[in-house]
Amino acid sequence: MTRKLLAVLVLFLFAAASQAGDLVSGVRYKLSAGDLASGIAAVEDYKLATGVDAEYLNAVGWLARGAEMQGKSEVAKEYVAELRREIPVEKPDLLTPLGAAIEVEGRLIATQNGRGAAIRYFNSELEHATAPSLRSRISKNINLLSLEGHQPPALETAKFIGATPVSLDALRGKPVLLYFFAQGCGDCRAQAPSLTRVWKKYQPKGLSLITATRLYGSVGENNKATPAEEQAQIEKVWGELYAGLDGVPAIIDTETMVRYGVSATPTFVLIDRKGLVRMYAPTRISEAELSRRIDAVLAEAP
């Protein structure tokens, strides 16, 4: 091999390695600008240079989501089919693209065949899913289609920090805000000050607040944290970040997080005095919008 050819090969491999780290973020940036075509081109170039790997499949998952959101259902179906071929069974390192395939396919079913058909599809997928993150993502999509206007799932209250939690049944007659977080979540950290202000504003008006999280198996860059290590970190974050939530319990329970579809944090659920869900928001929410939704529930007759 000549020096020139070797140099070219080294540059090619370096570019491919750099591209690998930037592919998903680049595709997401293009999709946020509504530029699906450029995202597709970037993913095709990556595949030619690197082949099919986890980074590629994650990017394809984003393309599927982008195509579905832009109403390009046939394109979305093609990417879903590719993900299903490449990920025939649940694999720990491919949960994100598999979840994307399930999510997009369910949304396409909802568009074509209605909400009921989509819920049946998601429930079928949920029966076979095992990883908490995948089960949570599927549950999120079920909840988006069916939770508002219905009674919320039960809370498992055996393990907690802060005040002792009570059941939702015991709080019937009061509006209740549920806040789901993760100890390492940046959006949760950003949400904490506004949540504290909302709590201090509405607690005197009768609002109850319950928070919940689960063990994810990591603390910072330590992806093999023990339950005891992560519990200690949750307590540290709770004491520092949510210091203003006096008298509020923080449940620590995986099944609670799965039932409420907490694949993204923070997630909010607002329950009215009748015990019915009035808002399900698996995303960060502005203080103004959260206050508006609480005001609407408080304004209703007991």
| Secondary structure (DSSP) of the chain | --HHHHHHHHHHHHHHHHHHHHHHHHHHHHHHTT-HHHHHHHHHHHHHHH-S-HHHHHHHHHHHHHHHHTT-HHHHHHHHHHHHHH-SS--GGGHHHHHHHHHHHHHHHHHHH-HHHHHHHHHHHHHH--SHHHHHHHHHHHHHHHTTTSPPPPP--SSEEESPP--TGGGTTS-EEEEE--TT-HHHHHHHHHHHHHHHHHGGGT-EEEEEE---S-BTTBTT--HHHHHHHHHHHHHHHTTT-TT-EEEE-HHHHHHTT-SSSSEEEEE-TTS-EEEEE-S---HHHHHHHHHHHHTS--
Q: Average of pLDDT values for 66-92?
A: 97
Flag whether pLDDT at 12 surpasses 90. no
Residue type, 173: G
At residue 80, the pLDDT reads 98
Flag whether pLDDT at 17 surpasses 80. no
In the structure, what pLDDT confidence band is assigned to residue 195 with cuts at 50, 70 and 90? Answer: very high
Instruction: List the structure tokens of 88.
Output: 């025939």
At residue 151, the pLDDT reads 97
In the structure, what pLDDT confidence band is assigned to residue 18 with cuts at 50, 70 and 90? Answer: very low
Flag whether pLDDT at 271 surpasses 70. yes
Flag whether pLDDT at 6 surpasses 50. no
Q: Average of pLDDT values for 285-299?
A: 97
**CA 72, CA 70: separation in Å to the nearest integer?**
6
At residue 20, the pLDDT reads 44
- More reliable by pLDDT, 165 or 6: 165
The pLDDT tens digits of the residues spanning 29-55 come to 999 999 999 999 999 999 999 999 999
Flag whether pLDDT at 68 surpasses 90. yes
At residue 218, the pLDDT reads 86
Looking up tokens 């393990």 gives 159
CA 153 centroid distance within chain: 17
At residue 269, the pLDDT reads 98
Structural domains in the chain, CATH included, are: 3-146 (1.25.40.10), 160-298 (3.40.30.10)
In the structure, what pLDDT confidence band is assigned to residue 4 with cuts at 50, 70 and 90? Answer: very low
Residues making up the chain, counted from first to last: 302
Flag whether pLDDT at 256 surpasses 70. yes
Question: Model pTM?
Answer: 0.89
In the structure, what pLDDT confidence band is assigned to residue 246 with cuts at 50, 70 and 90? Answer: confident
Q: 265 with 180: CB under 8 angstroms?
A: yes
Q: Is 42 exposed, middle or buried (0-12, 13-18, 19+ CB in 10 A)?
A: buried
In the structure, what pLDDT confidence band is assigned to residue 15 with cuts at 50, 70 and 90? Answer: very low
In the structure, what pLDDT confidence band is assigned to residue 11 with cuts at 50, 70 and 90? Answer: very low
Flag whether pLDDT at 77 surpasses 90. yes
Flag whether pLDDT at 168 surpasses 70. yes
At residue 115, the pLDDT reads 97
Phi, psi (rounded to 5 degrees) for 301: -65, 140
The pLDDT tens digits of the residues spanning 197-243 come to 999 999 999 999 999 999 998 888 777 889 999 999 999 999 999 99
Flag whether pLDDT at 10 surpasses 90. no
